[in-house]
Amino acid sequence: MGYFGYGGLGWIGMIINLVITIGVIVGLVILVVWAVRRMSGNSIYSQLPNLSDQSAKDIAKARYAKGEISREEYQQLLSDLGR
């Protein structure tokens, strides 16, 4: 009488069981996504150029080549950096 296979908790047991099941599924999905990102090495940080390996002059040169700064700004940067 009233047990329905949930230890006598009835509907409360069913709800608790559902919440636990959903939690486990969500946790497994998060774990798989994390593992795939970790193993692939394609994070947003790996796609950025490593600026610490470049000198200030190299960075200024790259910015000038991309058209981010004008010739005058580039020459001023080189002058400020001591060529």
Q: Tens digits of per-residue pLDDT, 16-71?
A: 999 999 999 999 999 999 999 888 875 555 555 665 667 888 889 999 999 999 99
The pTM score is 0.42
Domain parsing of the chain, residue ranges:
1-42, 51-83
CA distance 24 to 26: 6
Q: What is the pLDDT of residue 27?
A: 96
Q: What is the pLDDT of residue 82?
A: 84
